[in-house]
A = this chain, B = another copy of it.
Amino acid sequence: MSDLTQGSTAFRSHDDLGEARRTVPGYRLGDPALPPSPVTLEELELLKKTLLLTEEDVRYLRMAGAVMQPQIEAILDVWYGFVGAHPHLIRYFSNKADGTPNADYLARVRARFGQWIVDTTNADYDQAWLDYQHEIGLRHTRAAKNRTDDAPSVDQVNFRYLIAFIVPISATVEPFLAQGQHSPDDVRKMHAAWTKSVVLQTILWSYPYVRDGEF
């Protein structure tokens, strides 16, 4: 599966989102043309409270970002290795016609996934961030999967795996966080903050899967 684990994108800081939009295929954080999220900033604040996501977590996410940034390709290797090792997961990146993995689609998503690590550690939970979360959610559903990358793949990512991915996306970063020069307590707090952010984003990505009026 070595073809799944290549990547050479230069990921961009949040001071340079315009450049990220030029270099990362299909990347749209901060694009003023994105439609507004159906979730309000007030609802987002209540979700953050429910998730115990505080200003301290935001600080630990920034710390995590500094530790993770130089390791992004290695982290993506782990995630792509995990997906590639499971037929029930790689199918979402495969050609609908014959079930073979689509290398171009995998590469384009990989570049966004790398930038997503940067974004997760830098998020400021404003309207632009909220709007892009909704766009990311849509890209997993029948409404918009494949469209961004013109990929001839299956029609949707089944909802259950969207939520299930909270666990591998959270568990697998811990050894990478431990590679920084921080105390075990700081590693624990970076990891907890990362997990909260992943759960928060997963909730927002779920919106288009949920029946009208039940979100």
Contact = CB atoms under 8 A, between A and B. Distances in A.
Interface string A40-60: 000100110111110000000
A171 B159 contact: no
Interface in A153-179: 156, 158-161, 163-168, 171
Contacts of A195: 167
The majority secondary structure among interface residues of chain A is: helix
A125 interface: no
B210 A161 contact: no
A50, A142, A171, A195: which has the most chain B beta carbons within 10 Å?
Answer: A50
Contacts of A159: 206, 210, 214-215
B214 A168 contact: no
Nearest to A200: B164
Nearest to A44: B160
Given A50-B168, A192-B171, A214 B141 contact: yes
Given A160-B215, A215-B158, A215-B159, A50 B210 contact: no
Contacts of A62: none
A125 B139 CA distance: 32
Interface of A: 43, 46-47, 49-53, 86, 88-89, 141-142, 156, 158-161, 163-168, 171, 192, 195-196, 199-200, 202-203, 206, 209-211, 214-215
